[in-house]
Amino acid sequence: MEHLTSETFDSNARAALDDAQLRGALRNATSLFGKRRLAAAQSVSNWEGLRSKARSIKDETLLQLDKYLEEFTANAERAGAQIHWARDGAEANEIVKRIVRERNGRLVVKAKSMTTEEIHLNAALEAVGVEALETDLGEYIVQLAGETPSHIIAPAIHKTRYQIADLFVDKLGIAPTDDIATLTATARAVLRGKFAAADIGVSGVNFGVAETGTILILENEGNIRLTTSVPKTHIAVMGIEKVIPRFADLEVFLKLLPRSGTGQHLTSYQSLITGTKRDSDGEGPDELHILLLDNGRSRMLAHPTTRQSLACIRCGACLNACPVYQQIGGHAYGSVYPGPIGAVITPQLIGLKKAAQLPYASSLCGACREVCPVKIDIPELLLHLRAEITEKSQAGDRTSAASKPKTSERLSFKAWAAVMTRPRLYEFSARMARFFQRLIVKGNRIGKVEGLMAALAPPLAAWTSVRDLRPIEAKSFREQWREQSLP
């Protein structure tokens, strides 16, 4: 399957809007997650306080990220973990490949991890003949179909049970069925064989605790426990922003993340792993490798607005709340991270040029900011990125694919500003407009009237092709005010 890119966001979105099945699935998923999130948030007496607390912990960490990373790595190493550093995705993949090669690994089982999606680890491993198998049910389905996840916490919401059944019949040779329990049991049986045979388990990390060197991973299915318990070697890929100062800080995040993501009070399982086993006969892997990934994150520290991006705990609440995501789903963004948070993280990770349309994929309604458990001001970030895009294009950055404002657009805004700052000119213009609009108003509407409007004014036709434009009223507010208040 051909994967979409951020550069073609507009056409991706248009195609998604024509997909009735996708939109139905999105409507169900986003409204269900949204309702559950709200109920779960209301089960805590001081939700706002928790959010503020979480954000202050993240801010505190990010402002001294170097110090907390030193502390985290020192404590993790003391407990037996091996720490690796990667400046970018290519370097991270090289490190993982080397660890796998040195252990003659042929089969890698993977727990769901956005960070390994970000660096395209599976493709890198497959290129050197290592099978990298996703084990989260949704991720497994998506991988089997040769697709990419469409939602941070529900990767396969874009597929129906019938499509999944067809996929399993085709790829796994099962008898036709549309029973979800049978499909789930099929995946369980196939994957248990893989867990038993796997040489290496690769996971992500939700939180890394500086004061203990502990990594914490949350899940519901148990595949992360299997990935981190059964194979002899465990590799945990962790963005450098995942560190938090204290073990006790986990409480706040354990309350916020499941409630914001799936609306649960707690997910079924949390694995808290601190280095390797003390007793060589003990259960669990012999080796733990923690791979710390920068890949553009440290750059985001340079401004308080962009720095907020690093507070994200990947809950997916902003996706469910976003009126744009609700209509087009995750694939249209053409990026690993979709939705509002994807629209701000992606341009910072892969560059404004490649993702110039994403900061505009928002009505700035602020729903994402309302639900964010760490109070990231996503609309502020979107505006910040839009400003950067505009500055770059005005600075004559010809290579930039950033939407360069047209001359007519710039002139229109100049004229608008001139009129709006001069009351007399404004009133005069309004009277003129009211006079001339008679030419194009029919049935108290502008536009969509026998194509007249479209023919008259091409730049304005873009507006009227999908919605009505109300004509200017016979008397302005100012005129009415003067009549009322003057004797």
Tell me the β-bridge partners of 86.
293
Task: Give the nearest distance from C-beta 18 to other proteins in angstroms.
Answer: 22
Task: Give the nearest distance from C-beta 282 to other proteins in angstroms.
Answer: 7
Interacting residues of 32 by C-beta distance below 8 A, sequence separation 6+: none
396: contact with other proteins by CB under 8 A:
no
Coil, strand, or helix at residue 439? helix
Q: 276: which 2 tokens?
A: 């390797």
Which C-beta is closer to other proteins: that of 13 or that of 300? 300
Which C-beta is closer to other proteins: that of 252 or that of 324? 252
Which C-beta is closer to other proteins: that of 131 or that of 211? 211
Task: Give the nearest distance from C-beta 182 to other proteins in angstroms.
Answer: 10
Q: How far apart are CA 85 and CA 91, in angstroms?
A: 8
Q: How far apart are CA 230 and CA 51, in angstroms?
A: 36
Task: Give the nearest distance from C-beta 165 to other proteins in angstroms.
Answer: 9
Q: How far apart are CA 32 and CA 372, in angstroms?
A: 17
317: contact with other proteins by CB under 8 A:
no
Q: How far apart are CA 89 and CA 76, in angstroms?
A: 22
| Span from 252-260, 334-342, 379-387, 472-480 in contact with other proteins (CB under 8 A) | 252-260
For the segment 321-350, give every residue that binds other proteins (CB under 8 A): none
276: contact with other proteins by CB under 8 A:
yes
Q: 41: which 2 tokens?
A: 């948030």
Q: How far apart are CA 418 and CA 400, in angstroms?
A: 30
Of 143, 206, 214, 357, which one interacts with other proteins (CB under 8 A)?
A: 214
Of 116, 206, 270, 309, which one interacts with other proteins (CB under 8 A)?
A: 270
Task: Give the nearest distance from C-beta 4 to other proteins in angstroms.
Answer: 22
Task: Give the nearest distance from C-beta 251 to other proteins in angstroms.
Answer: 4
Task: Give the nearest distance from C-beta 395 to other proteins in angstroms.
Answer: 20
Task: Give the nearest distance from C-beta 405 to other proteins in angstroms.
Answer: 27
6 CB-contact burial (10 Å; exposed 0-12 / middle 13-18 / buried 19+): buried
Which C-beta is closer to other proteins: that of 108 or that of 230? 230
What is the separation of C-alpha 113 from the centre of its chain, rounded to a whole number of angstroms? 13
The dihedrals phi and psi of 226, each to the nearest 5 degrees, come to -65, -45
Q: How far apart are CA 2 and CA 344, in angstroms?
A: 24
Q: 50: which 2 tokens?
A: 């928790």
Binding mask 44-83 for other proteins (x = CB under 8 A): xxx--xx-xx-xx--xx--x-xx--x---------xx-x-
Task: Give the nearest distance from C-beta 290 to other proteins in angstroms.
Answer: 12
Which C-beta is closer to other proteins: that of 161 or that of 410? 161
CB 191 within 8 A of CB 135: yes
Task: Give the nearest distance from C-beta 394 to other proteins in angstroms.
Answer: 22
Task: Give the nearest distance from C-beta 351 to other proteins in angstroms.
Answer: 16
Of 84, 110, 242, 331, which one interacts with other proteins (CB under 8 A)?
A: 84
What is the separation of C-alpha 337 from the centre of its chain, rounded to a whole number of angstroms? 3
105: contact with other proteins by CB under 8 A:
no
Binding mask 142-181 for other proteins (x = CB under 8 A): ------------xxxx-xxx--x---------------xx
| Span from 113-121, 290-298, 330-338, 341-349 in contact with other proteins (CB under 8 A) | 290-298
DSSP-assigned letters across all residues of 98-124: HHHHHTT--EEEE---HHHHHTTHHHH
Q: How far apart are CA 74 and CA 434, in angstroms?
A: 72
Of 105, 136, 143, 322, which one interacts with other proteins (CB under 8 A)?
A: 136
Task: Give the nearest distance from C-beta 6 to other proteins in angstroms.
Answer: 24
Number of residues that bind other proteins (CB under 8 A): 109
| Span from 6-14, 23-31, 381-389, 427-435 in contact with other proteins (CB under 8 A) | 23-31
Q: Are strands 207-209 and 243-244 parallel, antiparallel or unpaired?
A: parallel
Of 11, 184, 363, 394, which one interacts with other proteins (CB under 8 A)?
A: 184
Which C-beta is closer to other proteins: that of 8 or that of 276? 276
Q: How far apart are CA 385 and CA 393, in angstroms?
A: 12
Of 43, 363, 412, 437, which one interacts with other proteins (CB under 8 A)?
A: 43
Q: 171: which 2 tokens?
A: 């790829």
CB 316 within 8 A of CB 115: no
The dihedrals phi and psi of 123, each to the nearest 5 degrees, come to -65, -40
Of 240, 341, 343, 355, which one interacts with other proteins (CB under 8 A)?
A: 240
380: contact with other proteins by CB under 8 A:
no
CB 115 within 8 A of CB 215: no
CB 199 within 8 A of CB 105: yes
For the segment 419-438, give every residue that binds other proteins (CB under 8 A): none
CB 137 within 8 A of CB 221: yes
